[in-house]
Amino acid sequence: MNTTRTVRIHALGGPEVLRWEEIPLSNPGPGEVLVRHEAVGLNFIDTYHRSGLYPVPSLPTAIGMEAAGVVEAVGPAGGDGERTGNSRPAGDGPSFQPGDRVAYGFGLGAYCERRVMPTGQLVPIPDGVDFETAAAAMLKGMTSWYLCRRTYRLGAGETVLVHAAAGGVGTILCQWCKALGATVIGTVGSAGKGDVAREHGCDHVILYKEEDFVERVDEITGGRGVPVVFDGVGKATFDGSMECLSRFGMMITFGNASGAVPPLNLLRLSAKGITVARPSLKPYIDRREDLEEAAGELLGHIEAGRIRITVGQRFPLAEAAEAHRALESRGTQGCTVLVP
């Protein structure tokens, strides 16, 4: 029987619940391929699945959402494909052959050496993009895509506020906003992270431990505020972010790095006509054509050099618990990859 080594959780909790173990591996069926991972991306959503903040279908389960690798085997032809967790038919994707380089950004169970995947979740990796870059970019990059291209359709000349600007999503999002012609204000936790943020498109960097970011945004914008805030931090920054918004501004909260945002009194929105959005990636890429558009824009920007993916840390996949500790302690910069 084929097997693969994987990181799984049998109970919810801290990084200590992550187990490195060997499990059986099935053969690919119609509309499926067997992928050997070369690199796996690390994301905050992985810690949410581990802790139970975001529910998983059942236990035990492997976690992780994005990876890149090589197709090792292809399932038999025929069949309509089964429905998968992302509600897309398994066979609803391009045809792949052994040796093809592929990546994905929304497939629970990525913390493993090899896995069977529906072709509808995979995209080809362009020749000019390496495995680590693709693995680090897919989820965080497509998140950046929907934030500034769909949830808020950013235009040239606008000013935006990006929290955690030196993080995985932050470094990509700042570059994307800059490429669209925006002025980018970013918050970071240290001078070193400030340098990283500047290198990735930030025009103004705020050290939130030393400065009041609400006051600094007010100074930078001449009291006008910003039309949109991209906030993946959550509880610690939500109230201040609301104060930074201009009239008819949009507050986009898309992560919970500091904890979940508490219940909101909707009357608070009425004074300035504020809109609050809590989007997630899945609805934006649920159709195959949308996934191809998102991944195509992202990988195209990377291959052309308009967006640079910085891998700041690498951990062996077997040491995923240490990677989680580093991420949750705000001890990482840029993107982090796990190497099988």
pLDDT digits over 138-164, tens only?
999 999 999 999 999 999 999 999 999
Helix (H, G, I), strand (E, B) or coil at 188: strand
Q: Which residue has the tokens 């899945």?
A: 282
Question: Which residues make Cβ contacts (< 8 Å) with residue 268, sequence separation at least 6?
Answer: 242, 274
> 61, 9 in Cβ contact below 8 A?
yes
Written as tens digits, the pLDDT of the chain (340 aa) is: 599 999 999 999 999 999 999 999 999 999 999 999 999 999 999 999 999 999 999 999 999 999 999 999 999 985 444 433 333 444 456 789 999 999 999 999 999 999 999 999 999 999 999 999 999 999 999 999 999 999 999 999 999 999 999 999 999 999 999 999 999 999 999 999 999 999 999 999 999 999 999 999 999 999 999 999 999 998 999 999 999 999 999 999 998 888 888 888 889 999 899 999 999 999 999 999 999 999 999 999 999 999 999 999 999 999 999 999 999 998 888 899 999 9
Nearest to 9 by CA among 54, 49, 80, 62: 62
At 291, which helix (H) or strand (E)?
Answer: helix 288-304
How far CA 33 is from CA of 99, 139, 282, 327, in Å, comes to 11, 20, 22, 31
Q: How far apart are alpha carbons 220 and 201 in whole angstroms?
A: 16
Give the global pTM: 0.90
pLDDT of residue 3: 95
How far CA 325 is from CA of 44, 211, 319, 331, in Å, comes to 11, 26, 10, 8
Q: How is residue 288 written in tokens? A: 């195959």
At 253, which helix (H) or strand (E)?
Answer: strand 245-253
How many Cα atoms occupy the beta-carbon half-sphere of 160 within 13 Å? Answer: 32
